[in-house]
Chains A and B, each alone.
Chain A
Amino acid sequence: MQLLDIRNLTLELETPDGIVRAVDRVNLSLKEGEVRGLVGESGSGKSLIAKAIMGVLHQRWHISADRFSWCGEDLLRLPYQRQREIISRDIAMIYQEPSRSMDPTALIGEQLAESIPDHRLEGVSWWQKGYFRRKKAINLLHKVGIKDHQSVLNSYPYQLSEGVCQKISIAMAIAKDPKLLIADEPTTALESTTQAQLFRLLASFNQLKGTSILLISHELETVAKNTDTLSVLYCGQLVEAGETADLLKNPRHPYTDALIRSVPEFQPELGFKQQLYALQGSIPTLQHLPIGCRLGPRCPNARKECVKTPQLERQQNHFYSCHFPILRTSAHE
């Protein structure tokens, strides 16, 4: 079943220098039980899209889309109250710096108990609610792999390490049993050993409960190993989307190709201390976005036609938008 179906999402902001289009006609879709990765560097708009899905974008942003539906209901046409109801019931999000996204003045136990929605405690008499909340909180902590719940429940966020905080925020997110979990760069602030634990945890939730996961990151390596499908963004434009394995084997867009080739691990033939493949130039700022295909100035294949934004083309579940895609046939085909 199609959970999230977004077509031509555009996010615009009014600045003193004119209207800035931070996200330009991006398509995103998610099925039930799917783990999708959203890869993009800084300025690609991936965090903005996540916030737009959660409905927490600042008032100044203009959201427009041809379709923005969750489980068939168009979120943009609904009244604000109904939107919040649906989103709070079904979607949860975890953030990059977990200790900063928690209330610093409240104990973990209180925050965790607060995040358990009321409808999970139906059938419980009111004087027992507090007890059941606490029991459920301990249960959640065990589910995310924190065995020593007593000391964690009585601590403040600043007393715990980032890894533990991230696990707690996952516990808070799954307390309401969401259909979609959006993870915005969840492992950037963590140690590498904790990162592995975290991804295993997310994978287990995906398999056991069927929770869909939208994994946002700027590192291709972390996303490549943990997702089924992948969308690549550059400067607010959707550059390529499709199944992860297919994308890594046959990237069609020069940007995806550059991302893959800049990671030494994906290229076993690259010698020790050899130069990595890197695109020239740097990411344009919001005020100086190029017209047409935004990779234009940096792209090795760029030609005159690239001043027009390319259309999204499809080839067997593999979407890409490029006038001159890379159509090399790999040796396996």
Chain B
Amino acid sequence: MSNLIEVRNLGKTYRKATGLFKHKEIIALQQVSFTLQAGETLAVVGENGSGKSTLAKLLVGIEQADQGEIFYAGNQINFSEYRKTNQFIRYIFQDAARSLNPNQKIAEILHAVLRYSTVLSFEQREQKISQTLRLLGLLNEHANYYPHMFSGGQLQRVALARALILDPKVLILDEALTALDPSLRAQIVNLLLELQQKTDIAYLLITNQLRLVRHIADQTMVLHQGKCLDYGATTQIFTNPQHEFSRKLINSVQY
């Protein structure tokens, strides 16, 4: 099976100005490589500042990589063309409430997404919107609501609707499940699993919740200070972590 995403030796360095003419270089990511197949879930774990969020931002195009290559279905894509790449890969923010414009109805937001990136007519867009809302367990009436009328869990579903409405092949969840209550998290995890079974979508899950990782991730990657310490099948990593840090991380789950 060909790789949906292939990443080779990805690196990113940030330059922070520490004085009038001096700069400090912060290496956010170094020599990170992995592959992702369709219908698979890759979990990226690590502490704060380990580079997980940077990796997510590089993959979706919010930031540009300094070194390394990213291949999508065998081709290298230029990221300034969001309109082309977002049919392939989409991103879910950690805080759903902050990622939605508070002054726009959901219908307008979703219409805007389709208008920018596709050439569907108005009726086709309406149909796609109601289809997507139904898929995520929301009602058609919800399209006329403003974001402040939704509860936390429903907002995450709205964010998912916005991401999935373009039928992407890869979905990046940047700590998207961390702030949810356990019962809500279980519902959304079920939704994601169902979606993966039906459409073979691949997930890149950035999280620190190792129990969840053990349940839904096929592969796991442990990042520490920008370097990839461990990468492989989840069961392997959990039973046989290679690095000291990964071992500490896995053991902290069993306390």
Contacts and interface: CB of A to CB of B under 8 A. Distances in A.
Contacts of A42: 152, 181
B19 interface: no
Contacts of B66: none
Contacts of A195: 252, 255
Contacts of A263: 182, 211
Contact of B186 (A199, A221, A272, A276): A276
Contact of A282 (B154, B210, B214): B154
A276 B212 CA distance: 11
Contacts of B214: 264-265
Contacts of A316: none
Q: Which of A191, A200, A219, A277 has most B Cβ within 10 Å?
A: A191
B211 A221 contact: yes
Nearest to B211: A265
Contacts of B211: 221, 263-265
Interface in A257-294: 258-259, 262-265, 270, 272-279, 282-283, 285
Contacts of B153: 282-283
A128 interface: no
Contacts of A279: 183
A62 B251 CA distance: 45
A196 interface: yes
B252 A196 contact: yes
B187 interface: yes
Interface magnitude class on chain B? 20 to 34
Given A192-B253, A199-B255, A273 B193 contact: yes
B47 interface: yes
Per DSSP, chain A at the interface is loop
B184 interface: yes
B194 interface: yes
A225 interface: yes
Contacts of B58: none
A41 interface: yes
B216 interface: yes
B190 A276 contact: yes
A259 B184 CA distance: 11
Contacts of A196: 251-252, 255
Contacts of B98: none
Interface string A243-266: 000000000000000110011110
A273 B216 contact: yes
B48 A191 contact: yes
Contacts of A285: 151
B248 interface: yes
Given A262-B186, A283-B181, 9 more contacts: A41-B184, A191-B48, A192-B210, A193-B252, A221-B211, A270-B215, A273-B193, A276-B215, A285-B151
27 contacts: A191-B47, A193-B249, A193-B252, A195-B252, A196-B252, A196-B255, A199-B255, A200-B255, A219-B182, A221-B211, A258-B183, A259-B183, A262-B182, A262-B186, A272-B216, A273-B196, A276-B189, A276-B190, A276-B215, A277-B186, A278-B183, A282-B153, A283-B151, A283-B153, A283-B183, A283-B184, A285-B151
Interface of A: 41-42, 191-193, 195-196, 199-200, 218-221, 225, 258-259, 262-265, 270, 272-279, 282-283, 285
Closest 6 CB pairs of A and B: A278-B186, A262-B186, A41-B181, A264-B215, A196-B252, A196-B255
